[in-house]
Amino acid sequence: MSKVLRHLPELEGDEQVEVARLLNDMSDAQAEHFARIYRSRRRDPSHLLILAAVGFIGAAGLQRFYAEEFALGLVYFFTGGLCVIGTIYDVIKYQDLAFRYNRDVALEVAETVRTVYDTRADDA
């Protein structure tokens, strides 16, 4: 847990636990590399909430585009947020939407960092 607090102190809750699990077996250099990439790619839950709230005034689905769920974003856009019910759901569950996106990004970044460092070790 200390690596995640040192490299990514802004994380909270389930996201912090998930990232701490990924950082457990990484060296400090790998953890720093992971933190730089992850910080640039993660989505802030408050941004998802704001975008979901904008769906009530006519631009439904922006939160899904922001979370890179393009097909569902189009469905929300053309159906008025699934007749506003989907938008209400996203306003309520915005943290879960952000967590799922950030978890997938964290797994992808961790795999990339491990691959890069494994390649460097093989070249040495």
Full DSSP string of 81-109: HHHTHHHHHHHHSHHHHHHHHHHHHHHHH
Number of domains in the chain: 1
CA–chain centroid gap for 65, Å, is: 13
Mutual orientation of helices 94-123 and 13-23 as an angle, nearest 10°?
Answer: 10
**pLDDT tier, 124 (very low <50, low <70, confident <90, very high otherwise):** low
Give the separation between CA 99 and CA 116, rounded to whole angstroms: 25
- Note the pLDDT of residue 2: 81
Enter the pTM of the model.
Answer: 0.89
Q: Which domain holds residue 114?
A: 2-123
Give the separation between CA 71 and CA 89, rounded to whole angstroms: 17
The pLDDT tens digits for 53-104 are 999 988 999 999 999 999 999 999 999 998 999 999 999 999 999 999 999 9
Q: What percent of the chain has pLDDT over 70?
A: 95
